[in-house]
Structure 1
């Protein structure tokens, strides 16, 4: 699946906030090695490098386009590096003190098993901080799935959109981390985001949830699909004179290895 860094960062003020809400709960004072899994354009990874200038900070992403943009960051701190790799292939080395993954693991089938493995392999005292979207039952996603499953689009889009196992419930994440030997804090937040412009929810999902559909359809097909989908979104998320409210639920977990 191809990512568009420019489209992804279109709503960066909203997309970045959960990252800072997440990492603010990491109490590591002077870690030696920090890893950001699913680092995207690298701008937020650079914030980790600036926060911990004594740490070697590594951003990991499977997208060549994202890693290319990350590598071109202006004024990148000297303790920052980026590598292209799948999250599924990453394993914590000895001495890894902080692992962050922001809005990435929902794309990784079986990520619960990865979390268990990472938690068990991390050294005592290491931190694991993860945020995943919890909005798969929101109208934006339900309408997309229903349209993709309709008689008109199913021949092209059957099986393209994952949702049933994309993320777990907060209590499942909590149990998983505690049973793996971590002291865990898990919570959820619903952000009442106000988006500007015409069809802003469609513009938002073009950067993330709609990517599998974009990859599966021709340009002409995508134009027709988006026209139908946009009409549904306008009904579900009415525009006000001051913007369009797009509620977004997110699930957070911050844990420290105790044994």
Structure 2
């Protein structure tokens, strides 16, 4: 994919930061010496960690230069590095590895979480939040428009570009095998947004990107027109004119034993 657009992402900063805030409140560690925020984006989640643990040595990692540029302006005292999380293999262990809305993009979760758990100090925590919305209308309709349009062949593999989220039982088992205890839960956020166009603007910063990036500007415009028609039907206006975007997210905090 092309580089992430931090400005587009931050149009809904409050809504995107809320799950990270909910996740950090469940971390049982009173004090830590070191933390890494993998997939740190523009630094909104990193800021929460530094506020919770002001004495910790903090590192933020992301693959997007644009996201990292925003993060460095936001938190000039924090070290940020460009890195491919799929290949990340640090030389040290951390008290906290924080991953907010990033690991759903990576494959082979059993191996992935075993590797991340191995990067924890004894007693350290891996705190993870992943969108679990592939079955919501917002994402089902992306696949529908991709499959039914003139771009179907071009986008044939795109719907497989995000990892299918496992069950509670899956993650509990994988984390147990990795030597961790696990606190797991799921929250469905309900975001009142201005209209169907606002839903599209939200998703243009994340879920729609793999569908739009391979298309020409003309194709992107037609794709969004078709998608807008479907979204307007799936998310009817409420009494106040707003639409309700349901957004399930899976969480866990794993502590290395």
Alignment TM-score, normalising by the size of structure 2: 0.94
Which residue number in structure 1 is paired with residue 148 of structure 2? 150
Distance 2:119 2:18 in 1: 29
Number of equivalenced pairs: 255
Shift of 1:188: 0.5
- Cα offsets for 1:54-73 (capped at 9, x unmatched): 11111100011111111122
Name the residue aligned to 1:250.
Answer: 249
Match of 1:50 in 2: 51
Matches within 5 A, 1:18-37: 18-37=19-38
Kindly indicate whether residue 205 of structure 2 is the aligned counterpart of residue 207 of structure 1.
Answer: yes
1:152 Cα deviation after fit: 2.2
Specify every segment of 5 or more residues in structure 2 that has no aligned partner in the other structure, as ranges. none
Could you list the structure 1 runs, at least 4 aligned residues long, displaced by more than 4 angstroms after superposition. Answer: none
Deviation of 1:122 after TM superposition, in Å, equals 2.2
Give the aligned partner of residue 97 of structure 2: 99
For residue 213 of structure 1, report the CA deviation from its aligned partner.
Answer: 1.5
- DSSP 3-state at the match of 1:233: helix
Aligned partners of 1:92 and 1:118 also within 8 Å: no
| Aligned pair partner of 1:236 in 203, 209, 234 | 234
- 1: CA distance, partners of 2:215 / 2:235: 25
1:97 is displaced (CA, Å) by 0.3
Q: CA RMSD in A?
A: 1.6
C-alpha displacement of 1:164:
7.4
Secondary structure, aligned partner of 1:228: helix
Counterpart for residue 124 of structure 1: 122
In 2, Cα distance between equivalents of 1:124 and 1:249? 31
Kindly indicate whether the alpha-carbon contact (under 8 Å) linking 2:39 and 2:60 is maintained by their aligned counterparts in 1.
yes
> Is the partner of 1:97 in helix, strand or coil?
strand
Within a 5 Å distance, the mapping from 1:77-116 to structure 2 comes to 78=77, 80-116=78-114
1:49, CA displacement in angstroms?
Answer: 1.4
| Whole-angstrom distance in 2 between the partners of 1:14 and 1:184 | 26
Q: Give 1:132 shift.
A: 0.3
* Cα shift readout 1:153-199 (whole Å, capped 9, x = no counterpart): 21221112226743212221111111211110111111111112452
Change (3 A) 1:40 1:164: closer
Cα shift at 1:131: 0.4
Following superposition, the deviation at residue 231 of structure 1 comes to: 0.4
| Residue-by-residue CA offset, 1:201-258 (whole Å, 9 max, x unaligned) | 1111111000112211111110000000000000000122241101110000101111
Q: Which moved more, 1:156-165 or 1:198-207?
A: 156-165
For the 8 Å contact 1:37–1:59, the answer to whether it is kept is yes
Could you list the runs of 5+ residues in structure 1 that have no partner in the other structure? Answer: none
